[in-house]
Structure 1
Amino acid sequence: MARKTSTFVATSGRDKGKRFLITEMPAHRSEEWAGRALFAVMQSGVEVPDEVLGAGFAGIAAIGIKAMTKVPFDLAKPLFDEMMTCVQFEFAGGQAGGARALFEDDIEEVATRLQLRKAVLDLHLESFIDAVPSTQASGSASQADA
Structure 2
Amino acid sequence: MATTTTRFTRPVDASDLTRRTTLGILTAVVSVLVLRAAVDLAGLAVGAGGTNDPFAVLPLLATTVVAGVGAAVAYAVLDRFTARPARNFTALAAAVFTLMLVPVVAFAPTLGVTAVGQAVLVAFHAVVAVPIVAFVTGALRR
TM-score, normalised with respect to structure 2: 0.30
Normalized per residue, the structure richer in helix is: 2
Larger RCO (CA within 8 A; separation ≥ 6): 2
TM-score, normalised with respect to structure 1: 0.29
